[in-house]
Structure 1
Amino acid sequence: MKTTNEPMRIVALRRPSRRRDQIGVDSEFAAPKLCAVYPSWSFYPRNLRPPEWAVAIVAATTDVKAQISTFETPAGEDPRDTLSDAVLAHLRPGLHELGYQVETGKKQAEKIIKPVLFGNDGSVEVAYEIDAFHESLGIAVEVEAGRGAANGADYRDIVRTSLLLDAANLALLIPAVYRFTSGGRPQEKKAYESTRRQLDAIYASRRLRLPFDGVLLVGY
């Protein structure tokens, strides 16, 4: 048996790393995982693992990528439907399958209306319309598109859904990019990133506490 005076070398074993674009949640160990880069999405608060309902909405959005994606359209050109009603129409079958009530039209019976305040004799005094709602999970869904995504509709959605009596969670779907023409020149606004920064600030500052168990932001 040979002996040597050379010092022993210790080799550290390293866990193979995965690129961030290979997983659909912030933590390497969070589950479940999505392997697609579309859509962009964030779940709040950041210290909670995204729940199943959030991942399911992301998957439903992925299913209609060809119809609603704003990722790859050249600046100034947007052949897809740019109204939120049209985007919601594409999402409706998938949301129905997940157990959501979804707005189907503008007639009273086709709308999703949730109470905010009650008046005399228990009658509803203030109520707001929303795009979709999951009764058992208390998830309010709002879909924005086109000009609404560029004109502060995200602020309105966050505040109004915060007042709904039955809303325990919020899912907000926003275009990744809103394209428009101004002064004859094509313009772009990164709507998803703008709303993400707002929610980052809200949850980081703690000055404004939203009454939700969780908030899902999706950039389609």
Structure 2
Amino acid sequence: MRFAAMAQQARPRPQLLSLRPATPDDADDIVALTIAAGDGLPLALWRQMAQPSEDPQALGRQRAQRLTGGYSYTRAEMAELDGSVAGGIIDYALGDEPDPITAETPALIVPLNELENLVCGSWYVNILAVKPLWRRLGLGRMLLEAAERRGRANGRAELSIIVSDANHPAQALYAAFGFHEKATRPMVKQGWDGPGQNWRLLTKKL
């Protein structure tokens, strides 16, 4: 608590806040924000997917630089303060039919896929994170408002997001934004020991 308070006092005062579409050059920031948003689960997943000699974060960067797929810079928007990335979001429309869960689906993400399949057709917030130095300035809410606008513009009736039951600041933000719990699934802890016991699927009508 003491060090957090010191960091809060020491951070510079932001002068200019803006949102912009992500580019391939944002891959490192997207990866860092993804790991933070998922309490380390994405890194554990990339470790399982990587070749023995491959750096898991390098694999994450490659995936973030793709032109297609749910995890792509083309679906991301970055929040900047004074020209530096302070946070980001990846959001998009889920398909109208459930995605199949097969024997090849990594066990870590099976509960997440199960929850996503309960909100087919919704506008889904896959990743939302703000760097520690810039938290408590309203950036998370601003990014959610941008996602809400995109969801409405794409004719979606519902906004959805999944959060760990141990992430209390995020849960407070989502509750204040109007999200309500729709379902939960127990976490799978295979090669990952993140906090929490359950994933919570939250939704909001648009």
TM-score by length of 2: 0.30
Please say which structure displays the higher CA radius of gyration: 1
TM-score by length of 1: 0.28
Structure ranking higher in helix proportion: 2
